[in-house]
Chains A and B, each alone.
Chain A
């Protein structure tokens, strides 16, 4: 099986280790991974801020980069949700990409039918499901089942898990006080679990929460789901 990796603009520029981890997991499971070099951004930030015209070239670019593939896999729930739910309004070619685009955990669990990806991660972890994964994509228990199957991992339930972390794209800077208040509540819940790692499937949410954690000097780090699943006994996760 051959898939195209849609790494997303945020991961490309800020969290390349999430992209590398995604490649490692997929290759370990025998999947051939391509990285179409023309890809950049799905257009979600301008689209959600009300700039549809400015979104159009990015949608066209994304469609051109990926339309030859039967499977497009992305380690971002919100970018997958953008393609899945909003591309149809940009024409037939864009609409055709929607059902072939998968968030990573969704691809692993629903397409490959795998929950044990052979990972090893000897830490205590709590999982924030993120709104786009939880509500827009309906990921359900997939990510938790993947984490449950990781050797050495102790999964702690996050109180108020279904509540938004307050990132919300440009919301984070257009409404900074409310955004930060939501983030601090999420961080407080995460700290109450006593976990070493706050895991998520959207690095944009983790960028917001990690920024608060570092500002407050809290003893908890954020890590993308892919990086936990990529970690093995032979090649364990390291900073």
Chain B
């Protein structure tokens, strides 16, 4: 992943600020609860949801198991259809490939379709360093770009902003990037959308190069698929002369027919729609219709390593719907930025430490950024058992010896619990001295700062049993 997030503090510290920011808490609560309720309604409409979910899981697992075969099939199909396929092992390689492709066109600007893969590799920053300006054209990504901000949600990257904040941002910054915001801009959604439309239109009409990601790549036909709501994607995918798509290798599906499952589960899980407004599909190039040159950059960037882990690999099933973010009580209170990655929320907590490794402070803390409540697993349209992977990654972090004091304490506790006589003696001692216990004993700050400790009983259960039932 890009360097943007390196050096992030561990999750608990990063979350602290968000927890105590009432505006952010209100924005997130309102937005996540609204989408959560709508999603539940949209999913409940389908009586075969469980079977769609199981089918999605199986298609993804099958593809991942034979990914080498399907990627070669995809490459052949894209090439046959007039596209060019590039293979990028990591972010640096992908950025270098895209930069060189844009430079070869002689252009100094590109328009972008919302894409997680290009966020992941920090493409905009890499292009900027080469003197190329990338314009985000998704409304929420535009808000993030104008605000020199970071996305905090996969589907709704500006979820942490309310409309008053967005109005102020448009009025202040649009002029620096192109057409200024209209005078007297209000904070009604229609006005804000119109300001964005006017601002972006000149960019769509001028752009010669577009950069996109893709939701799916069909191996048998070489077709790429983008689902979106605003039509900005359709503009970028059809108007420019050159189209460059950067896509993670796990986005492959074997056949056209497999789309049947995901075109039902993705819109309902993400935007709570039966069908998203725009589904664009393209296969290589077509004379006289759409881009004349098409480049597909297949991105690994840690995915092959993730695939090697038998428990963790299920994270690669993810179709980036964000349903897990919208139901997560931790995400709702910590906000997306605390996760230190373009992938926030429960899926980010299992994806980032696998794609980037668990050596940095933030990545080592992410597997613990969950109460393991399981709401994410329940809503996942490809049945990723996120709690299972979180615990698995906690084992990895514990094994690398990051928490020595904790490990020692666990060993002692485990030994005591394996010796009932010692445990019982300890319980009796604690019970007998209970009146003398301080309310906030040393070393319990993490608990007692916000909660009282329970009062201890006069005797443990095992003593009651011995006296009354034996």
Contact = CB atoms under 8 A, between A and B. Distances in A.
Contact of B457 (A17, A38, A207, A215): A17
Given A211-B447, A211-B453, A168 B410 contact: no
A211 B452 contact: yes
A40 B413 CA distance: 11
Interface string A116-135: 00000000000000011001
Contact of B451 (A46, A55, A163, A211): A211
A16 B464 contact: yes
Interface residues of B, number: 59
B87 interface: no
Contact of A171 (B334, B370, B395, B459): B370
Contacts of B20: 177
B374 A55 contact: no
B447 A50 contact: no
A38 B469 CA distance: 16
A19 B461 contact: yes
Contacts of A19: 461, 464-465
A11 B461 contact: yes
A14 interface: yes
Interface in A1-41: 7, 9, 11-17, 19-20, 23, 33, 35, 37-41
A135 B374 contact: yes
B89 interface: no
Contacts of A177: 12, 15-16, 19-20
A157 interface: no
Contact of A178 (B15, B395, B414, B465): B15
Contact of A175 (B15, B418, B459, B464): B15
Interface in B7-42: 11-12, 15-16, 19-20, 25
A50 B398 contact: yes
Interface in B120-169: none
B211 interface: no
Contact of A47 (B391, B396, B407, B417): B391
A180 B451 contact: yes
Interface string B76-105: 000000000000000000000000000000
Interface string B430-451: 1000000000000000110111
A175 B366 CA distance: 11
Interface string A100-129: 000000000000000000000000000000
B407 A51 contact: yes
Given A58-B417, A177-B12, A212-B450, A50 B395 contact: yes
B461 A164 contact: no
Contacts of B461: 7, 11-13, 16, 19-20
Given A40-B417, A171-B370, A175-B12, A12 B451 contact: no
Pick the 9 closest A-B CB pairs, nearest first. Answer: A168-B371, A50-B394, A211-B451, A164-B373, A50-B398, A180-B450, A16-B461, A19-B461, A173-B446
Given A51-B398, A51-B407, 12 more contacts: A11-B461, A20-B464, A40-B423, A168-B372, A169-B371, A172-B447, A177-B15, A178-B12, A182-B329, A208-B451, A210-B454, A211-B447
Interface of B: 11-12, 15-16, 19-20, 25, 329-330, 333-334, 367-375, 377-378, 391, 393-399, 406-407, 410-411, 413-414, 417-418, 420, 423, 427, 430, 446-447, 449-454, 456-457, 459-462, 464-465, 469
17 contacts: A9-B423, A12-B461, A13-B456, A19-B464, A40-B417, A47-B391, A48-B372, A48-B394, A50-B393, A50-B395, A51-B414, A168-B372, A174-B368, A176-B449, A178-B19, A179-B371, A181-B333
